[in-house]
Amino acid sequence: MPSSLRVVLAEDSVLLREGLIGLLARFGHEVAAAVGDAEALREAVAAHAPDIVVTDVRMPPGFQDEGLRAAVALRAARPELPVLVLSQYVQRSYATELLDSGDGTGVGYLLKDRIGQVEEFLDALTRVAAGGTVVDPEVVRQLLRRRRDPLAALTPREREVLGLVAEGHSNGAIARRLVVTEAAVGKHIGNILGKLDLPPAEDTHRRVLAVLTYLRA
Amino acid sequence: MDVRTPWQALTRPLAYPRSVWPWRSAGYLASGAVTGAAALAVLLVLAMFSLLLVGLPLLLFAGVALGGIERRRLRIAETTPAADPHRVPDTPGLAAWLRIRVREQATWRELAYAVLHATVLWPLDLIVLAVCLGLPAALLGAPLRLALDGQETKVVKAYLVTSYPEAFAASLLGAVLLVALLYPVAALAGARAAMARALLAPRETELTDRIGEVTRSRARLVDAFEAERRRIERDLHDGAQQRLVALTMTLGLARLDAPPGSPLGDQLAKAHDEAGQVLTELRELIHGIHPQVLADFGLGAALADAADRSAVPVDADIELPRLPTAVESAGYFAVCEALANIGKHSGATKARLTARYASGSLTLLVQDDGRGGADPAGGSGLTGLADRIAVLDGTLTISSPPGGPTLIRVEIPCPPPSA
C-alpha cells in the first residue's frame, strides 16, 4: 500500500469538501477528484481509478442515502475498491448494508464527527485502503448494549474483543488496548469464531463474517 | 318546542292559524306549482332532444339544477337547511364534473324528483291550494261580488246569491272553511317537504363520505406538519451540522500544530472536545426530529435502530414491508414514545417489541415487565400520538394494570405495499 493515497472524495457541502481536501493534502494524500453528487462520484471513480473512495451518505439530488447507494454500487462492480463512508447517523442499517457489499474487506463506516479527530480519521483511512474493515466506535458501542443471540454464547470479554475487531483493530492493537498478550487475543478470536460457527478459512474473511454476525445480531 | 316544520306546527292546532306556518306552507305549495310547471316545460323540451341523444346530459344538468333550486325552496317550508349531497370534483372542468355526478346516487335521485315534481306533484300543489284557499276566498268575497255585480252573483260558479244576508252567510262559511282548510295545507306542505328532503338531501352514506373528506383534510394537516419536520431536520443537517464538523476538523488540525502541553494546546483541546460534544448532541436532536433511516430503509429498520438505542434492552421481533410514509412515521414515533416511557417510568428490566403487517393493518406491540399503572389520560406524550394515529384511522390502546405489565398496542390500517 502506498503511503500517499489517491482519493476520490464525494461530499456535497462545499465547506466540508474544501476542508477535507486541505486535510488530506496536508498529510500527503492526493485528492484526485472532489465531487458533490453520486453521479459525479461514479464518473470520477471510472476516470481516476483511486486507491480509496471517501463519500458522504446523504447527497443530491434526493438528499437521502445516494452516497451509500453509490458506494454499494461501486463495490458491486469492483469488490476490492476500498470505500470509506462518512455518515451523520449512528445507524446499524447503513453499516450493515455497506459491509455486505463486496467481500466485506476494505470498507469503513465512520461518523462525520470523527473527521475532527484528525489522527483517528487518517488511521481509519489508511486501514480501509489497506483492506481493513472499520466500523465507527459509536455504532459498535450502541450494539454492545444489545444482548441477543447469536452473541449470547459469548463471554463479556469475548464480546469486548469482537467489538474491537468490528472497529477494525488488528490483534496487536486489541492486545495493547486490553493490556493482554497478542496470543490471548488470538485465542479469544478463535473462540469467538468457533462459537459463531464460522469454519476455518482465510483469516481476514472470517473476521469480517464475525463482524457482520455481530452487526446483524 | 322550537317549531321547524309544518307538521310540527300542526301539533299545536290552536296556535297554528295565528302563526307564520300557514303562510309558509301556502308559499311553499304556490312556489312549488311555479317550479313544477317550469320543470315540466324544460323536461318536455329536453325529452324531445333526447331522441337525438344530446338531451341526455342536459337532462342530468336539469335534474341537478332543479335539485339545487328545490333545496333552497325547502327553506320556505322548513327552517332546517338541506345540505348538498354532491361531492366537489377534484379537478375543474365539465368532464370531471359530469364524471363525478354520473356516479353519484344523489344525481339520479334528483332526476327522479324532477320527473315526479314536473308530472304529479305540482298539479297536486295547485289543486290543494285552489280548494283550500281559493274556495274559501271566493266565499269570503261574496258580499263584495254582490256589490259589484248588482242584483245577483254566482259564487264559486255554482251557487246563486241574490241578497246580502245570503252573501254574508256565504262569507261567514268561507271564513270558517278558510280556517279549517288551513290545516290540510300545512299537512300537504309538510308531506311535500319531507319527500323533497328524502330525495334531495344527503343520505347517511353520503354524510360518511363527507366525514371521510374531513379526515382527509386532517391527514393533509398532519402531512404538512411532517413535511415541516423534515425541512427543519434538513436545515439542521445541511447547515449547522456540516459547519460544526468543519469547525471540529479545523480545531483538530490546530491541535496538531499547537505545541503539546502548552496553554494554547490545552485551550484548543478544550474547545475541540466542547465542539465534539455539541456535535453529538446536535446529532441526537436531528435524529429525534426525523430519523433519516426511516426515509431510507423504512419502518422496520428504523424500529430496529430505535430498539438499539433504548435504555432498557429490547427484544425486537420485526417483520415489515415498506408502508405509506405517514403510517411509517406515526408508527415509529409511537414506538419511540413507548420505549422512552418504559425507560423513564416503568422500572422495567426488559421490553419486547413486535411489529407485523397483515391483512391491511400495521400492528405494533410494545410490552415491558415494569410496574404498570401508566395513565394515558395523564397528559403523557402518548395522548398526542393517539391523536396522530387516530387521524390515520388507527388506534392506540394501553393496558397497564398497577403492578404491570404494560402493553401498548398500535394498529393502523393501510393499503398493502405497492412493491
pLDDT in tens, B378-419: 556 777 778 888 888 888 888 888 877 888 899 999 887 654
pLDDT at A94: 83
Peptide bond into B260 cis (omega under 30): no
All cell numbers assigned to A83: 470505500
| Domain stops at, among B156, B173, B202 | B202
| In-domain check, residue B194 | yes
Residue B170 identity:
A
On whether the CB atoms of residues A189 and A172 are closer than 8 A, the answer is no
| In-domain check, residue B15 | yes
Q: Which of B234, B238, B252 sits opposite A118 (nearest CB)?
A: B252
pLDDT at A1: 46
Helix (H, G, I), strand (E, B) or coil at B188: helix
Mean pLDDT of A83-94: 85
pLDDT at B150: 74
pLDDT at B86: 82
pLDDT at B221: 80
pLDDT at B152: 75
Residues 6+ apart with CB under 8 A from B71: B81, B82, B84, B196, B200, B201
Lowest mean pLDDT among A16-30, A106-120, B93-107, B179-193: B93-107
- Pairing relation of β-strands A6-10 and A52-56? parallel
Q: Are residues B164 and B236 in the same domain?
A: no
Beta bridge partners of residue B351, listed in sequence order: B314, B368
DSSP state of B237: I
Per-residue pLDDT of B179-190, as tens digits, reads 888 888 899 999
B251 touches chain A (CB under 8 A): yes
State pTM to two decimals.
Answer: 0.60
On whether the CB atoms of residues A149 and A100 are closer than 8 A, the answer is no
Per-residue pLDDT of A91-121, as tens digits, reads 777 888 888 887 778 899 999 988 988 988 9
The count of structural domains within chain B is 3
| Domain stops at, among B239, B272, B289 | B289
A112 φ, ψ (degrees, to nearest 5)? -60, -30
Candidates B410, B101, A45, B299; CA nearest to A55 is A45
Helix (H, G, I), strand (E, B) or coil at B171: helix
Candidates B111, B120, B112; CA nearest to B36 is B120
Boundaries of domain holding B306: 294-413
| In-domain check, residue B124 | yes
DSSP state of A29: -
pLDDT of residue B1 exceeding 60, the answer is: no
Q: Are residues B183 and B244 in the same domain?
A: no
Residue B205 identity:
T
Q: Determine which helix (DSSP H) or strand (DSSP E) holds A133, and give its type and residue range.
A: strand A133-135
Q: How far is B271 from chain A (nearest CA, A)?
A: 12
| In-domain check, residue B418 | no
Residues 6+ apart with CB under 8 A from B244: B275, B278, B279, B282
Mean pLDDT of B263-288: 91
Q: Are residues B61 and B161 in the same domain?
A: yes
Mean pLDDT of B351-376: 86
On whether the CB atoms of residues A95 and A197 are closer than 8 A, the answer is no
Residues of A in CB contact (< 8 Å) with B are: 13, 15-16, 19-20, 23, 26, 57-58, 63-65, 68, 88-94, 111-113, 115-119, 142-143, 145-148
Measured between CA atoms, the residue of chain A closest to residue B241 is A88
Residue B269 identity:
A
Residue B256: its chain A contacts at CB < 8 A?
118-119
Per-residue pLDDT of A155-204, as tens digits, reads 888 888 988 888 888 888 999 988 999 999 988 888 888 888 777 666 55
Residues 6+ apart with CB under 8 A from A154: A162, A192, A195
Instruction: Say whether A118 and B275 touch across the interface (CB within 8 A).
Output: no
pLDDT of residue B225 exceeding 80, the answer is: yes
Q: How confident is the model at residue B303 (pLDDT cuts 50, 70, 90)?
A: very high
Q: Are residues B116 and B30 in the same domain?
A: yes
Per-residue pLDDT of A119-166, as tens digits, reads 889 999 999 999 888 888 888 877 776 655 567 778 888 888 988 888
pLDDT at B379: 57
CA separation, residue B418 to residues A21, A161, A176, B323 (Å) = 43, 43, 52, 8
Q: Are residues B14 and B87 in the same domain?
A: yes
pLDDT at B107: 87
Residues 32-61 of B with CB under 8 A from A: none
On whether the CB atoms of residues B306 and B312 are closer than 8 A, the answer is no
Please give the Cα distance from B246 to B323 (Å, whole number): 37
Q: Are residues B90 and B176 in the same domain?
A: yes
Instruction: Say whether B292 and A64 touch across the interface (CB within 8 A).
Output: yes
Average pLDDT in chain B: 85
Please give the Cα distance from A46 to B396 (Å, whole number): 52
